[in-house]
Amino acid sequence: MSNLLRPINLVRMDERTKRIVMLVGETIEIEIYPNGEVVTK
């Protein structure tokens, strides 16, 4: 990500996998795993 502020369009927790998924701006997807690992796509 960058230092610029971007809108967070969606935050959702997948109950099956316990992952938190965030959609930031129009193209950035962030997944946070139960162990705290963060993956940016």
Q: Is residue 25 part of a domain?
A: yes
Tell me the mean pLDDT in the region 3-11: 86
Give pLDDT, residue 34. 97
For the stretch 11-37, pLDDT in tens is 999 999 999 999 998 888 999 999 999
Domain, as residue range, for 16: 8-40
Q: Indicate whether 4 pLDDT > 80.
A: no
Domain for residue 3, yes or no? no
Q: Please report the pLDDT score of residue 26 as a whole number.
A: 84
At 2 the pLDDT is 57
* Per-position DSSP letters for 1-41, written without gaps between them: --SS---EEEEEEETTTTEEEEEETTTEEEEE-TTS-EEE-
Domains of the chain: total: 1
Q: Are 38 and 28 in contact (CB under 8 A)?
A: no
Classify residue 1: in a domain, yes or no: no
- Residue 10 pLDDT class (50, 70, 90 cuts): very high
